[in-house]
C-alpha cells in the first residue's frame, strides 16, 4: 500500500476541467449526476496522473457512476475489464479472461505467456480499469501483471501501464473452487487481489468515496449498514433489524425478494407465475455472433403473463424509469409489452445488448471497441425474487430479504441490506442472526490500513 495520500499524488501536464454536473453517458447512468468534490478529485487523479489506484467506497457511493464518467471523458488509451460476463456487460467492456486470452482456471505465473490476438492493444494501452475488483482473484491479477510485462517488454508492474481498480471488498468475494483450495493455499495467503504479488509491487493509492447517495435520507440506517458491513453490529442493531420480520406468510407476494440461491428465486418466481390466471406468452430472443449464454441479461425464452412482476434492465432515454425499477406486466402483444411502472403505463419494445472486444486500430493509433455479438430481448426479467448476487449494484425502494438457511459468503448479507434506501423499505422473512453476518477479518484489516491513505476530498 502506498504511503502517499491521494491528494499528494503528482499530476501530469494533462488538463481536466470538471463541471458541477454532467449528463448521462450513452444512457448508462440515468439522471444528471452531481459533480461532488470527491468525484472531482478522483477524476483529476484518473485523468491527470499515471498513479495506480484502488477506488473504493461503501455500497451506494457512486463507484459505477464514477467509472462511467471517467470512461466517457478519458483521453488516454483505456480499456475497461471485469471478472464476469454480466459485470463486463454492465460497464460495456470485456472480461479479463477474454481480453488477455486466459483459460478459466488457476493461473500459475510461470505458465503465462505474451498476449496473443490482443497483443497490440496490450502493448499500447495506457490505463487498465478493472471493475468489481472484490471478485478478482490474486492469481488472476498476478497473471495480468506478468502478461503485460512480457508483452510490453517493460519490467515495471503491469508493463508500466496505469491500473485502476474499482470495488468494495466488503461485498462479494472471489470464488475459489473446492478443488483449488489446496494449490491456492500453497501459493497465496488468501484469494483477494491484495494477496497478489502484483498488488504489493504496484504501489497503489487508495481513494475512498464516502458520500453515500443511496441511503442519504436515512442516516441511522446508514450507520447500521456500516456496522453490518464490518460485522460490528450490536444487540440493539439486531433487535432493530428483527422488528422488520414479516408478520404474515402465504398469499400473493408483493415486492421483491432477495434470496441467497438461484434455487430459492426460481421456486418463488415459478410459484407466483402459477398463481396468475391467463395464458403465458413466450418471447424468443435473438442472439448473433459471440455471446456467452451465462452473460444473457434475461431469459432467451422470456415467458410472461399479464400481472407478472418484472425488473427493468435498461434506463429509459426520457428517464421515466431506470435500470432496477420494478414494474407489472399489464399487456402483451406480438411486437411489444405494456408495463406499469410507478403507476404509469409504458410500452416496451426489444432492445439490444452488445458484447465487445477491444482491438487496436493501427490507422487511428487508438484502442477501439468492436462488437462481436448481440443479444436482443425485452429489457425485463421476472422479479418476484432475484439472488443477492444478481442484485449487486441495484437500488430498490423496498425488498424482502430471505436468508434461507443462512448467508454463506463474505459480504452477502451486507449486499442484501444495502440495496434498500431506508430501513422501512426492508422486510425480513426470518430474524437475522449474528452468524448471518460473514466478514473476512483479513478484509477488515486491509480496509483499516487503506483508510489512512485516502484523499482530502474524501474527508470533507
Please state, as a whole number, how many other Cβ atoms lie within 10 Å of the Cβ of residue 139.
27
The domain spans of the chain are 6-213+441-459, 231-350+379-436
- Phi and psi at 63, nearest 5°, equal -60, -45
- What pLDDT score does 160 carry? 97
- What pLDDT score does 393 carry? 81
CA distance 262 to 268: 10
Q: Which residues contact 23 (CB under 8 A, 6 or more apart)?
A: 32
Place of cell 477506488: 55
| Whether this model's pTM surpasses 0.75 | yes
- What pLDDT score does 254 carry? 64
- What pLDDT score does 21 carry? 43
Helix (H, G, I), strand (E, B) or coil at 169: coil
Report the CATH architecture of 231-350+379-436: Roll (2.30)
Place of cell 478522483: 42
How far lies 281's CA from each of 278, 284, 300, in Å? 10, 10, 13
b/e map 240-262, b = 16+ CB within 10 Å: ebeebeeeeeeeebebbbbbbee
Q: Give 154's Cβ-side CA count (13 Å radius).
A: 12
- Strand ranges (DSSP E) for 380-453? 380-382, 385-387, 399-402, 426-428
Q: Which residues contact 44 (CB under 8 A, 6 or more apart)?
A: 11, 16, 18
Residue 396 near residue 425 (C-beta atoms within 8 A): yes
What are the grid coordinates assigned to 10, written together?
503528482
Place of cell 510490453: 152
- What pLDDT score does 182 carry? 84
Structural class in CATH, domain 6-213+441-459? alpha beta
Residue 17: exposure state from Cβ atoms within 10 A (0-12, 13-18, ≥19): exposed
Residue 446 near residue 194 (C-beta atoms within 8 A): yes
Question: For residue range 376-414, what is the model confidence (pLDDT) as tens digits?
Answer: 999 999 999 999 988 888 888 889 999 988 878 888 999
Residue 375 near residue 287 (C-beta atoms within 8 A): yes
- What pLDDT score does 253 carry? 57
Stretches in the chain below the pLDDT threshold 50: 1-7, 9-27, 29, 251-252, 452-460
Amino acid at each position: 500500500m502506498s504511503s502517499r495520500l491521494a491528494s499528494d499524488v503528482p499530476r501530469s501536464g494533462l488538463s481536466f476541467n470538471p463541471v458541477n454536473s454532467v449528463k448521462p453517458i450513452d444512457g448508462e447512468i440515468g439522471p444528471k449526476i452531481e459533480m461532488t468534490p470527491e468525484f472531482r478529485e478522483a477524476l483529476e487523479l484518473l485523468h491527470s496522473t499515471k498513479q495506480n489506484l484502488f477506488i473504493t467506497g461503501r455500497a451506494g457511493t457512486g463507484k459505477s457512476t464514477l467509472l462511467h464518467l471517467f470512461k466517457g471523458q478519458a483521453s488516454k488509451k483505456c480499456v475497461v475489464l471485469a471478472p464476469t460476463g454480466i459485470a463486463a456487460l454492465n460497464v460495456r467492456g470485456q472480461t479479463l479472461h477474454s481480453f488477455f486470452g486466459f483459460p478459466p482456471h488457476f493461473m500459475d505465473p510461470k505458465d503465462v505467456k505474451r498476449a496473443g490476438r490482443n497483443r497490440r492493444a496490450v502493448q499500447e494501452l495506457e490505463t487498465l480499469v478493472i471493475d468489481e475488483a472484490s471478485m478478482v482473484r490474486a492469481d488472476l491479477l498476478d497473471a495480468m501483471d506478468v502478461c503485460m510485462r512480457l508483452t510490453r517488454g517493460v519490467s515495471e508492474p503491469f508493463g508500466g501501464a496505469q491500473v485502476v481498480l474499482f470495488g468494495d471488498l466488503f461485498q462479494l468475494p472471489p470464488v475459489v473452487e473446492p478443488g483449488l483450495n489446496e494449490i491456492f493455499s500453497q501459493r497465496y495467503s488468501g484469494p483477494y487481489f491484495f494477496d497478489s504479488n502484483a498488488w504489493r509491487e504496484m504501489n497503489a493509492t487508495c481513494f475512498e468515496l464516502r458520500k453515500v447517495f443511496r441511503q442519504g435520507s436515512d442516516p441511522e440506517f446508514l450507520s447500521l449498514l456500516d456496522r453490518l458491513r464490518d460485522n460490528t453490529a450490536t444487540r440493539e442493531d439486531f433487535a432493530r433489524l428483527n422488528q422488520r420480520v414479516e408478520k404474515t406468510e402465504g398469499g400473493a407476494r408483493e415486492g421483491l425478494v432477495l434470496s441467497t440461491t438461484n434455487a430459492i428465486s426460481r421456486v418463488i418466481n415459478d410459484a407466483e407465475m402459477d398463481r396468475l390466471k391467463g395464458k403465458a406468452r413466450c418471447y424468443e430472443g435473438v442472439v448473433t455472433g459471440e455471446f456467452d449464454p451465462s452473460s444473457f441479461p434475461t431469459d432467451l425464452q422470456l415467458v410472461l403473463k399479464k400481472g407478472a412482476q418484472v425488473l427493468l434492465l435498461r434506463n429509459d432515454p426520457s428517464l421515466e424509469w431506470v435500470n432496477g425499477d420494478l414494474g407489472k406486466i399489464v399487456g402483451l402483444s406480438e411486437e411489444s409489452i405494456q408495463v406499469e411502472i410507478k403507476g404509469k403505463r409504458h410500452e416496451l419494445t426489444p432492445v439490444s445488448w452488445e458484447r465487445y472486444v477491444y482491438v487496436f486500430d493501427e490507422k487511428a493509433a487508438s484502442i477501439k471497441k468492436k462488437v462481436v455479438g448481440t443479444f436482443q430481448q425485452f429489457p425485463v426479467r421476472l422479479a418476484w425474487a432475484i439472488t443477492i448476487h444478481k442484485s449487486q449494484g441495484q437500488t430498490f425502494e423496498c425488498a424482502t430479504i430471505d436468508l434461507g438457511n443462512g448467508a454463506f459468503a463474505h459480504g452477502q448479507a451486507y449486499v442484501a441490506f444495502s440495496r434498500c434506501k431506508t430501513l422501512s423499505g426492508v422486510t425480513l422473512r426470518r430474524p437475522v442472526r449474528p452468524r448471518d453476518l460473514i466478514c473476512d477479518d483479513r478484509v477488515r484489516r486491509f480496509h483499516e490500513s487503506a483508510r489512512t491513505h485516502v484523499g482530502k476530498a474524501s474527508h470533507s
